[in-house]
């Protein structure tokens, strides 16, 4: 009598002895198969006709298909007909039942997968799908999509979604993408692992898909827009791009309310309010003891609240300006060897490689640089060491290079720049020996500068950031630790809680819906720690985070965490 499950012997404590036993047992089974000994079933397979001998017990243990087959009416027949699988493929899968291995090629993987699905060989299905996805460039993504439609294989569907999610930037440019159904689009866009560096990439993909067949997809558009991390957009983007879309008005309104009124968030019903895993942001600080020369890049670990070095850069220009654009740090202008420069160089954060870009028309240092709508603006600054002030403004586009636009109302250097609601704000600075309170706003649509309300006091080299629909400014020197807030709707400045830090350059950024002040020394400007503070808006106070290990901050950027993961 066979041993029942409840009477099965316990595992031996000597695992090596048990392994030897299993190896001997499997070797004997393989030899029975190779020698066709003790065969108790033979399959007659068509296309081409072949006879494939086997052992019922082994096949039934390997697959519920064979277990059910042998329990059915023809289960005791010595010869069983198989008509829906090619003989070569069938024989390979029978061998798989004995060895757990099979020879898969680009030419046979499709037929192998279809047969494995029929025979309910789950491990063989997994092997086929893994092979497909690791050889997708040889098999082609088009062929994989065809196989998905023919087999409806759940594992293949899952792996394709993972592939599309990981390679979304490339996939959404393919012709096949335009024919994705809305359910597939939702599965991809809902993923926290969607591999994009900014949420606008997902929005642009939705637009491309939607525009391919607007009448048929009009009602489906809100379903996809709701999959976006809408709170990652600023208010201007929501007003300009989301609110005008039919059926998306309330989505835009909720997102704007979430951004502008933290106290109301508990009452707002939104599907997604946090960033994606690949879109999770952190801080990248550019630190230099020599006014921007040869900077170190420090990345912030939010989980452990600590800073660590990401890279050191050799770049020997003082008081150049640095901006972040599409995964690159752009260094513009500056001062070297007694002369002002018009150099523009790009340093790729991921690849850590330099590239030269078209030079500025005007050499300048202590100037402002900002990006708006994909265009780069170089604004004001000093023309030479005599502080000859510049009011000129030049704009760079890939199609036209650098071109001058309307100049500032008041030429200035050592000012700060920020964008908000589709406009550029230039704040404070110096004009000759005079410190400035004045603020100017540039409208790119009309190519005009207009004066805004003055700050409550003068600031030069301030740190500024747009945050929750306002502009925040951090003072530079001690005695000027005040923090000011600008309301663009009311055109008014007001003071908020002052920073409890001393002299030093400060950067100001908005991260995770909080305002961060990076810099300002706890001791002297040369020996103290470079502080990091986070503003508690509800209680109007600043909390402290881990200080920077370097003593001078040049600039700081909010970047995707994935960007700092080297290839």
Question: What average pLDDT does this structure show over 306-321?
Answer: 90
377 assigned to some structural domain: yes
What is the enclosing helix (H) or strand (E) of 143?
helix 141-151
Please report the pLDDT score of residue 407 as a whole number. 97
What is the reported pLDDT for 126?
Answer: 93
Task: Verify that 520 and 415 share a domain, yes or no.
Answer: yes
Q: Are 131 and 139 in contact (CB under 8 A)?
A: no
Instruction: Verify that 436 and 308 share a domain, yes or no.
Output: yes
Average pLDDT over residues 394-415: 94
Which of 131, 166, 201 marks a domain boundary? 166
Tell me phi and psi for residue 291, to 5 degrees.
Answer: 55, 45
Condensed to tens digits (0 to 9), the pLDDT of residues 71-122 reads: 877 767 888 888 889 999 999 999 999 888 888 999 999 999 999 999 999 9
Q: What is the pLDDT of residue 480?
A: 55
What total of structural domains would you count in the chain? 3
Out of 113, 142, 166, pick the residue that ends a domain: 166
In angstroms, what is the C-alpha Rg of the chain? 33
Same domain, 36 and 134: yes
Answer yes or no: is 272 within a domain.
no
Average pLDDT of the chain, as a whole number = 87
Note whether 180 and 162 are same-domain residues: no
Assign residue 76 the CATH number of its domain: 3.30.710.10
Same domain, residue pair 217 and 245? yes
Confidence of residue 7 (pLDDT cuts 50, 70, 90): very low
> Measured on CA atoms in the order 253, 255, 260, 265, is the torsion positive or negative?
positive
- The pLDDT value given to residue 4: 41
In this prediction, residue 29 carries a pLDDT of: 80
DSSP 316: -
Q: Averaged over 426-445, what is the pLDDT?
A: 93
Does pLDDT of 128 surpass 90?
yes
Task: Write down the pLDDT at residue 359.
Answer: 96
Residue 541 reports pLDDT greater than 70 = yes
Query: Would residue 43 count as lying in a domain?
Result: yes
Per-residue pLDDT at 3 exceeds 70: no
Task: Kindly state whether residues 47 and 196 are assigned to the same domain.
Answer: no
Q: Say yes or no to pLDDT of 501 above 90.
A: no
Tell whether 352 is covered by a domain: yes
**Are 246 and 302 members of one domain?**
no
Q: Cβ(55)–Cβ(39) under 8 Å?
A: yes
Q: What confidence category does residue 560 fall into, taking pLDDT thresholds of 50, 70 and 90? A: confident
Based on the domain organization, do 318 and 467 belong to the same domain?
A: yes
Note the pLDDT of residue 292.
66
Residue 12 lies in a domain: no
548: exposed, middle or buried (Cβ count in 10 Å: 0-12, 13-18, 19+)? buried
pLDDT category of residue 322 using cuts at 50, 70 and 90: very high
| Angstrom distance (rounded) from CA 5 to CA 3 | 7
Say yes or no: 140 and 228 in one domain: no
Paired strand residues for 543: 534
The 8 Å CB, 24+ separation contacts for 538-546 are: 538/262, 538/263, 540/496, 540/497, 541/497, 542/497, 542/499, 542/500, 542/517, 545/305, 545/516, 546/305, 546/306, 546/307
Listed residues 136, 166, 196: the one ending a domain = 166
Say whether both 213 and 307 belong to one domain.
Answer: no
**Residue 14 pLDDT class (50, 70, 90 cuts):** low
Are residues 369 and 295 located together in one domain of the fold?
yes
Q: Does 297 lie in the same domain as 188?
A: no
pLDDT per residue as tens digits for the range 188-204: 999 988 888 788 989 99
Domain that holds residue 216: 176-267
Residue 418 lies in a domain: yes
Domain of 419: which CATH number? 2.120.10.80
Structural domain contains residue 525: yes
Query: Is 321 domain-assigned?
Result: yes
For every residue of 435-500, which 3-state class applies, written as one string? Answer: ECCCEEEEECCCCEEEEECCCCCCCCCCEEEEECCEEEEECCCCCCCCEEEEECCCCEEEEECCCC
Q: Is the pLDDT of residue 290 over 80?
A: no
- CATH number of the domain encompassing residue 253: 1.25.40.420
Omega into 48 within 30° of 0, i.e. cis?
yes
Average pLDDT for residues 274-281, to the nearest whole number?
77
């Amino acid at each position: 009598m066979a041993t029942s499950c409840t009477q099965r012997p316990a595992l031996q404590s000597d695992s090596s002895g048990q392994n030897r036993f299993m190896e001997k047992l499997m070797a004997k089974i393989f030899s029975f198969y190779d020698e066709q000994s003790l065969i108790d079933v033979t399959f007659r397979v068509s296309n081409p006709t072949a006879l494939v001998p086997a052992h019922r017990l082994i096949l039934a243990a390997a697959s519920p298909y064979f277990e059910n087959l042998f329990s059915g009416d023809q289960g005791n027949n010595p010869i069983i007909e198989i008509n829906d699988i090619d003989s070569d493929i069938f024989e390979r899968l029978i061998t798989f039942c004995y060895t757990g291995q099979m020879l898969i090629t680009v030419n046979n993987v499709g037929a192998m997968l279809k047969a494995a699905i029929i025979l309910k060989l789950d491990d063989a299905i997994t092997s086929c799908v893994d092979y497909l996805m690791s050889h997708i460039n040889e098999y082609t993504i088009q062929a994989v999509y065809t196989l998905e439609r023919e087999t409806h294989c759940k594992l293949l569907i899952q792996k394709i979604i993972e592939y599309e999610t990981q390679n979304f930037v490339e996939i959404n440019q393919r012709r096949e993408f335009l024919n994705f159904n809305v359910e597939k689009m939702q599965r991809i866009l809902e993923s926290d692992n969607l591999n994009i560096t900014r949420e606008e990439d997902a929005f642009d993909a939705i637009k491309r898909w939607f525009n391919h067949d607007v009448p048929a997809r009009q009602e489906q558009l809100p379903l996809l827009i709701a999959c976006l991390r809408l709170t990652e957009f600023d208010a201007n983007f929501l007003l300009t791009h989301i609110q005008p879309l039919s059926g998306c008005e309330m989505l835009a309104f909720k997102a704007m309310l979430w951004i502008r009124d933290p106290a109301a968030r508990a009452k707002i019903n939104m599907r997604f309010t946090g960033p994606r895993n690949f879109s999770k942001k952190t801080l990248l600080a550019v630190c230099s003891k020599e006014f921007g020369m040869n900077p170190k890049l420090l990345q912030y670990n939010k989980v452990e609240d600590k800073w660590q070095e990401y890279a050191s850069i050799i770049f020997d220009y003082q008081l150049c300006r640095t901006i972040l654009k599409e995964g690159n740090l752009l260094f513009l202008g500056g001062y070297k060897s007694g002369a002002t420069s018009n150099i523009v160089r790009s340093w790729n954060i991921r690849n850590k490689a330099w590239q030269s870009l078209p030079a500025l028309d005007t050499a300048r240092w202590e100037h402002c640089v900002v990006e708006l709508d994909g265009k780069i603006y170089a604004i004001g600054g000093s023309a030479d060491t005599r502080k000859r002030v510049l009011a000129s403004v030049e704009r760079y586009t890939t199609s036209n290079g650098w071109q001058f636009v309307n100049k500032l109302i008041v030429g200035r250097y050592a000012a700060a720049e920020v964008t908000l609601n589709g406009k550029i704000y230039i704040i404070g600075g110096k004009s000759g020996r005079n410190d400035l309170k004045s603020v100017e706003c540039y409208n790119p649509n009309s190519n005009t500068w207009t004066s805004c309300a003055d700050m409550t006091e003068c600031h030069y080299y301030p740190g500024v950031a747009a945050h929750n629909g306002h502009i925040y400014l951090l003072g530079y020197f001690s005695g000027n630790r005040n923090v000011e807030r600008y309301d663009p709707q009311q055109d008014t400045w007001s003071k908020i809680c002052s920073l409890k830090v001393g002299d030093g350059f400060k950067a100001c950024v908005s991260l995770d819906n909080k305002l961060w002040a990076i810099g300002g020394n706890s001791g002297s400007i040369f020996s103290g720690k470079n502080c990091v503070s986070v503003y508690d808006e509800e209680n109007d106070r600043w909390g402290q985070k881990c200080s920077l290990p370097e003593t001078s901050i040049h600039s700081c950027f909010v970047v995707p965490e994935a960007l700092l993961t080297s290839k």
